[in-house]
Amino acid sequence: KAGVTQTPRYLIKTRGQQVTLSCSPISGHRSVSWYQQTPGQGLQFLFEYFSETQRNKGNFPGRFSGRQFSNSRSEMNVSTLELGDSALYLCASSLAETAWGYTFGSGTRLTVV
């Protein structure tokens, strides 16, 4: 059974650009959540989608957005990148609308220069 797949694994972008990260959940999982991990702020919740609807959003500026497609695949977008957006972005999927079934992907390492 394939795990949560995040692409790309590594990304380098220039300040001011935008970026799109992709997450393919485990087959059958309908809930996808995104977390940002930085050395300074640790692991922070970005947003959560279930059946194409955003159910919950963390305390991040509007530059951070996401969506979920009918096949449960999810993308997150960051516009007007800032140096502080450099982080490991983790996606997690679960079968039900609960956090205790989370399986995390390996993440996308974004570096903004």
Interface contacts to another protein, rule CB under 8 A: 4, 6, 31, 33, 35, 42-45, 48, 50, 55-56, 58, 90, 92, 94, 97-100, 102-107, 109
Q: Which is nearer to another protein, 6 or 24 (CB)?
A: 6
Could you count the other beta carbons within 10 Å of the beta carbon of residue 8?
Answer: 11
Nearer to another protein, 83 or 100 (CB): 100
CB crowding 10-27: b at 16 or more within 10 Å, else e: eeebeeeeebebebbbbe
Nearer to another protein, 14 or 40 (CB): 40
The DSSP secondary-structure symbol of 8 reads -
Q: How far is the CB of 99 from another protein (least distance, A)?
A: 4
| CB of residue 15 to another protein, shortest distance in Å | 24
Structure tokens at 101: 């079934």
CA of residue 95 relative to chain centroid, distance: 17
